[in-house]
Amino acid sequence: MVAPTLRERSVLAKQLRLDVAQLTDVGRRREHNEDNMAFVIPKDPLVMANKGALFIVADGMGGHAAGEVASEIAVDTISNMYYQDDSEEGGVSLLRAIRRANASIHQRAAENMLRTGMGTTCVAAVLRGNIAYIANVGDSRAYLLRGNQVVQITRDHSWVAEQVRAGLLTEDQARTHTQRNVITRCLGTQADVEIDVFPEQIEEKDALVLCTDGLSGLVSDDEIRRIVDQSGPQESVYHLVERANENGGPDNITAIVVSVQEVGSEPPNTRHPVYVGGREIGEDTAVLGVASGSLVPAAPAMFSDSPAPGSSLRYPSGPLVSPESITAPQPI
């Protein structure tokens, strides 16, 4: 008997099915929108099974021209590089794609004095099979909604968030603090960047929300949950943006809502999940630390960026993204 090919196996395997919508809005006070967003859901079942779907939100800074450029480079570079990377580990590919975005923005800033200080936050999620890899730099957030719970998966890299973690400020104080916009990490301002990656098991009917602080600073976690619970992604993104505007809309507002219709099979060649619990893992070890079951914020996993041992899959270099995939329209 002939063993099924990789393509046949990927078609036979249970596919992840997602419903998604995204929306960005300039808000009520700003003249320009420096946020950017994008998603990629590959149509090719082989690419979908092996690389999964990708969602990115970025909040640019450094003044109008610089901020828009930085957030755009981030979403473009990550969506291209992720699908070109040959690692089987979604978390490793995502990490490398974000590092590449950091280098591209840093280089662009160095080429032009007017763009000194150009940077962007970034929150990105890969959903593949039954696992999500969520990565962030800065204070754009990812929330996971399950049942009647909402959990902020990412940890903000901001001054106020550090004060909250140290027990020096409450969440409510942080929300209105004059220093709430000060972030402690971003893409583009340094040659290298530290990126957190959070692996999460996903379940049917879960929803994932990626957003900038123009939403999370104006609409409470519980209200985000309530809005997303009430309707599908299309209506949800509209109501989330509307609510942030009703609350003043002082900043640009961006949200992606992903609803998990059906989870897929475990990704091919996935090594068994390992809990990392914030433990330092050696640089030569790629670890899939998957938190499953209860919804509690996990510590970021440590991913090595060297190729996983025993890799058998290789992707050709060159864009796998277009024209085989649905790429969301960019905001106007």
Cis check for the bond before 250: say yes or no (omega within 30 of 0): no
Residues 242 and 246: their CA atoms lie apart, in Å, by: 6
- Smallest distance from Ca ion to CB 252, Å: 6
For 128, the token pair is 């593949």
| CB nearer to Ca ion: pick between 85 and 213 | 213
| CB nearer to Ca ion: pick between 34 and 89 | 34
- Smallest distance from Ca ion to CB 80, Å: 24
List residues near Ca ion by CB under 5 A: 59, 212-214, 251
| CB nearer to Ca ion: pick between 217 and 233 | 217
Burial-class residue 199 by CB neighbours within 10 Å (0-12, 13-18, 19+): buried
- Smallest distance from Ca ion to CB 77, Å: 20
Q: Buried b / exposed e across 312-326, counting CB within 10 Å, b at 16+? A: eeebeeeebbeeebe
Q: Using CA atoms in the order 200, 201, 203, 208, what is the torsion angle rounded to 10 degrees?
A: 10
| CB nearer to Ca ion: pick between 10 and 140 | 140
Burial-class residue 203 by CB neighbours within 10 Å (0-12, 13-18, 19+): middle
| CB nearer to Ca ion: pick between 53 and 61 | 61
- Smallest distance from Ca ion to CB 182, Å: 12
- Smallest distance from Ca ion to CB 292, Å: 32
